């Protein structure tokens, strides 16, 4: 039993109990309890209902002189189940308070009472009795099934509604249930516009489905594979009035992509269907092995510079417009500008030398960590070597560096730790041509590591 005082915003009782099990998300439940009004009550009231929550609602004690929130709970609770029977005056029998609601999931507490605020209309029968007593019995929260749908929906989509409930039911397009749209457990149709469906059982609304038909975004067409030129940008000209996320970052409708990669574009907006597009951006590339090529021109001979015949135009300098190959009779620098099928321009550079004699220069000092990047690593200058190998040792004969790659240089460290300032010893071996003779040479010397 609970009591409500005539100054109800200050003195109002509720019944509050934990459920045996938490409620399941998406499941429809029927909440029911019976009340009987105490014979000696001085007034009657309406809006009995039930509120279900994950945690018990917090009690609130307002000061009516300064606080406009004149309810026992603040903010005001909105019960999922509310009686539509108006003011209940029956003191001799039991009145059922019941209704249906769809659980959000995890609800564990049931609060029962009158949820009308201080401005409610009351029916006073005895002003000398400033209270209302309410008996409660036969409380239940019962699962009756589920209603599922395939929303959200875009223009032209088929709407599918499936019902699995334990009660007789029918579909209606009117909130008063005056029309019976269907009795089927599986409802499938293509609506012309947005509409609302009501699921009725025994004259009560069990659940409501708002079918909000959204427009499709027009003009959002992006090829799955897009080729752009190296060092250029790809301009996305997207429909205006729409919001966009590119790889989960917000972008404007006019956006430029600078880096090749895989992208996901999401377009969304009020009244529009969310639309996702996956696409890949790749740079237009050619055979990189042809870049910065170096060749040697033997006396009285020529060299043919050639690329694959895959391009729309070729411009040799010197040499002029031509095809994918030219014969070079003089030493010097040559440049080839290619235009590919994507209208992208590429440049290849060649250096033709009169002599390709092997040459090695070994510096005698370097300074790791120096801001002068030219001397920050030990960098032998090696040209036209067919084979190359270098080893570096400390003064105790421990090897601290080794390489067979002319582009890999010693940074003055060993096993991830910087070596101390000292004198180090190197041994180098290389092979190449000197004139027409193939030679192999070995050399050694000292290096000064300075810090």
Per-residue pLDDT tens digits for 225-272? 888 888 888 888 888 889 999 999 999 989 999 888 999 999 999 889
pLDDT tens digit sequence for 389-446: 999 999 999 999 999 999 899 999 999 999 999 999 999 999 988 877 889 999 999 9
CA 265 – CA 253 distance, rounded (Å): 11
Closest C-alpha among 293, 277, 393, 385 to residue 333: 293
**Average pLDDT of the chain, as a whole number:** 85
Examine residue 152 and say whether the peptide bond preceding it is cis (omega within 30 degrees of 0).
yes
Average pLDDT rounded to a whole number, residues 219-224: 85
Q: Kindly tell me if the per-residue pLDDT of 3 is higher than 90.
A: no
Lowest mean pLDDT among 219-223, 356-360, 371-375: 371-375
pLDDT tens digit sequence for 162-207: 988 888 899 999 999 888 888 888 888 898 888 899 999 888 889 9
Q: Kindly tell me if the per-residue pLDDT of 346 is higher than 60.
A: yes
Q: Kindly tell me if the per-residue pLDDT of 44 is higher than 90.
A: no
Show the domains of the chain with their CATH numbers: 2-144 (2.60.120), 150-214 (no CATH), 225-284 (2.60.40.10), 288-353 (2.60.40.10), 359-449 (2.60.40)
Extract the runs of DSSP E, i.e. beta strands, from 115-158. Answer: 123-124, 131-149, 153-154
Question: Distances in Å between the alpha carbon of 385 and those of 292, 299, 301, 405?
Answer: 17, 20, 22, 10
- Predicted pLDDT of residue 434: 82
- Predicted pLDDT of residue 118: 52
CA 249 – CA 347 distance, rounded (Å): 35
- Predicted pLDDT of residue 233: 87
Average pLDDT rounded to a whole number, residues 281-285: 87
Between 212 and 120, the higher pLDDT residue: 212
- Predicted pLDDT of residue 307: 85
Q: How many helices and strands in the chain, by DSSP H and E?
A: 0, 40
* Burial class of residue 250 in the structure, from the number of CB atoms within 10 Å of its CB (0-12 exposed, 13-18 middle, 19+ buried): exposed
- Would you place residue 119 in the very low, low, confident or very high pLDDT band (cuts 50, 70, 90)? very low
CA 213 – CA 273 distance, rounded (Å): 9
Closest C-alpha among 367, 393, 416, 381 to residue 402: 393
């Amino acid at each position: 039993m609970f009591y409500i005082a005539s100054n109800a915003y200050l003195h109002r009782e509720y019944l509050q109990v934990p459920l045996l099990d938490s409620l399941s998300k998406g499941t429809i439940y029927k909440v029911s309890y019976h009340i009987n009004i105490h014979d000696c009550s001085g007034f009657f009231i309406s809006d009995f209902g039930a509120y279900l929550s994950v945690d018990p609602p917090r009690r609130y004690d307002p000061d009516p002189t300064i606080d406009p929130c004149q309810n026992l709970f603040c903010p005001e609770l909105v019960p999922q189940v509310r009686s539509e029977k108006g003011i209940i005056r029956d003191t001799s029998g039991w009145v059922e308070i019941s209704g249906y609601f769809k659980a959000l999931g995890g609800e564990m507490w049931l609060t029962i009472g009158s949820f009308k605020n201080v401005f409610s209309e009351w029916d006073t029968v005895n002003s000398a009795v400033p209270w209302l007593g309410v008996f409660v019995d036969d409380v239940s929260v019962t699962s009756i099934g589920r209603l599922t749908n395939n929303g959200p929906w875009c223009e032209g989509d088929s709407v599918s509604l499936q019902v699995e409930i334990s009660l007789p039911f029918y579909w209606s397009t009117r909130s008063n249930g005056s029309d019976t749209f269907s009795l089927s457990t599986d409802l499938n149709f293509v609506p012309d516009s947005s509409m609302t469906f009501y699921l009725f059982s025994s004259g009560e609304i069990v659940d409501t489905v708002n079918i909000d038909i959204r427009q499709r975004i027009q003009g959002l067409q992006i090829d799955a594979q897009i080729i752009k030129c190296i060092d250029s940008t790809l301009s996305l000209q997207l429909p205006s009035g729409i919001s966009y996320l590119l790889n989960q970052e917000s972008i404007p409708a006019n956006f430029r992509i600078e880096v090749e990669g895989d992208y996901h574009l999401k377009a969304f907006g009020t009244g529009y269907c969310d639309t996702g597009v996956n696409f890949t951006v790749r740079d237009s590339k050619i055979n990189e092995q042809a870049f910065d090529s170096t060749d040697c021109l033997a006396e009285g001979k020529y060299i043919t510079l050639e690329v694959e015949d895959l391009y729309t135009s070729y411009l040799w300098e010197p040499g002029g417009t031509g095809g994918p190959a030219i014969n070079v009779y003089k030493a010097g620098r040559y440049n080839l500008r290619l235009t590919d099928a994507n209208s992208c321009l590429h440049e290849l550079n060649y250096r033709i030398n009169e002599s390709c004699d092997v040459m090695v220069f070994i510096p005698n000092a370097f300074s790791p960590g120096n801001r002068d990047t030219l001397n920050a690593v030990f960098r032998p200058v090696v040209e036209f070597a067919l084979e190359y190998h270098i080893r570096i040792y400390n003064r105790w004969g421990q090897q601290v560096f080794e390489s067979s790659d002319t582009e890999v240089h010693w940074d003055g460290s060993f096993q991830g730790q910087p070596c101390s300032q000292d004198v180090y010893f190197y041994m180098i071996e290389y092979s190449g041509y000197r004139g027409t003779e193939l030679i192999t040479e070995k050399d050694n010397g000292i290096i000064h590591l300075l810090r």
